[in-house]
Amino acid sequence: MRVTLLNGAAPDSDAFDSYLERLAGNLRESGNTVSEFKLRDLVIGQCIGCWGCWTKTPGECVFSDDTAKIARSAVDSDLFLFASPLVLGFTTSLLKKTIDKMLPLVHPYLAVRAGEIHHRKRYRKYPLLGLLIARESDTDDIDISVVKEIYERVAIELATRLAFFGSTERPAEEVAHEIAGL
């Protein structure tokens, strides 16, 4: 399996980074290919909603930044794994900003999917999505439910499904085994 792993953690997230390193190592040991992106080390601009990715440069943002590399890796993957500690009850702004910049992966044209209107697929095949989170000390079941539901909606918009949702509370080896079994 080919996995694209987006680390949405802030610079001071040593424990989270170490967990992701163990996870990626375990995935590689079991024969998977892992492409890792530490979002904090990349240049990722804000989506400004200009729609140029649909009209001027179809499939790519008109503003050149590192999201083009991420998008190419994602489309070539079997699993697009978002990873983020929760901050104020949700994934980090770095991860959200990157997801917004994935808009060029779909067409501006609309179609009915999952009983709703969504953008048509640009590519024949899309990777499964996964989300790995680290809970905050006050994270409750409602917080988890909201985060999961929003990422399920992101998956629908990107013409795929949320195939994995987990937390760093489980050992990295267990999570890697579950992911490898998708």
Look at residue 114 in the predicted model and tell me its pLDDT: 83
Average pLDDT over residues 93-110: 95
Return the percentage of the chain with pLDDT > 70, whole number. 100
Look at residue 174 in the predicted model and tell me its pLDDT: 97
Output the CA–CA distances (angstroms, integers) from residue 82 to 49, 50, 55, 111, 125, in the order listed: 22, 25, 28, 26, 18
Look at residue 164 in the predicted model and tell me its pLDDT: 98
- Please state the pTM of the whole predicted model: 0.95
Other Cβ atoms within 10 Å of 16 Cβ, number:
20
Per-residue model confidence as pLDDT tens digits over 103-155: 999 999 999 988 999 999 999 999 999 999 999 999 999 999 999 999 999 99
Look at residue 113 in the predicted model and tell me its pLDDT: 85
Average pLDDT over residues 80-107: 96
Residue 8 pLDDT class (50, 70, 90 cuts): very high
Q: Which CATH fold would you assign to the domain 2-180? A: Rossmann fold (3.40.50)
Per-residue model confidence as pLDDT tens digits over 28-52: 999 999 999 999 999 999 999 999 9
Rounded-to-integer distance, Cα 18 and Cα 29, Å: 16
CB under 8 Å to 149, separation ≥6 — which residues?
none
Average pLDDT over residues 45-65: 93
Rounded-to-integer distance, Cα 84 and Cα 13, Å: 10
When the pLDDT of each residue in the chain is averaged and rounded to a whole number, the result is 96
CB 32 within 8 A of CB 4: no
Q: Report which of 83, 175, 96 is spatially closest to residue 132, judged by C-alpha positions.
A: 83
Outline where the chain has alpha helix (H): 14-29, 52-55, 67-75, 93-100, 141-157, 172-180
Return the percentage of the chain with pLDDT > 90, whole number. 98
Token pair 């694209």: residue: 4
Domain definitions of the chain by residue range: 2-180
Output the CA–CA distances (angstroms, integers) from residue 76 to 1, 37, 56, 108, 125, in the order listed: 11, 15, 23, 21, 9
